[in-house]
Amino acid sequence: MMRGRRATELKIAAGAFSFLLMLYGLAAMRGLDFRQDTALCVAYSALPLLSLPLHLLTLAVRRLLPMQALLLLAYIPVYSSLNWRTCAELGYCGSVASVVFTTIATSKVLLFWGVALASFAAFVVERSGKHREDSLTRQPH
């Protein structure tokens, strides 16, 4: 019973993080100049927008769970490229690695991590609870 509650709490956390990411995506659409690096700008705003619908789909189709991690892995290079473009234009870039690590520490990327980890943790908690229930029902009394 406690595992079911914990899994529900983790799903709610993942949903809340996904909702915040969607808001970031909407804000990005309003503030970006899509004329320069159009593909990067579209990906930068679309990937966060996809998080909430994907989260809702993973509630029904658990096999889609790894897609949250793929969104994260796609978002990091996109966001890093845009950060590199900005700091290169202003002349304060260090190294590519420093830009990537700075990008990974941003709130948007941390929210992507939160969605992926909370969704995965909910899946693991659900599975461990189901395996435990299955083993208890199979044992002879």
Contact 127, 80 (CB under 8 A): no
Q: For the chain, give the percent of residues with pLDDT over 90.
A: 55
Q: CB within 8 A of 85, min separation 6: which ones?
A: 36, 37, 40
* Residue 57 Cα distances to 15, 44, 66, 84, 85, angstroms: 11, 21, 12, 33, 34
pLDDT digits (tens, 9 = 90+) for 5-41: 888 899 999 999 999 999 999 998 888 888 888 999 9
pLDDT digits (tens, 9 = 90+) for 83-93: 998 888 888 88
Q: What is the model's pTM?
A: 0.82
Q: Nearest 10 degrees: CA dihedral of 56, 58, 59, 61? A: 130
Query: How confident is residue 131, by pLDDT bands cut at 50, 70 and 90?
Result: low
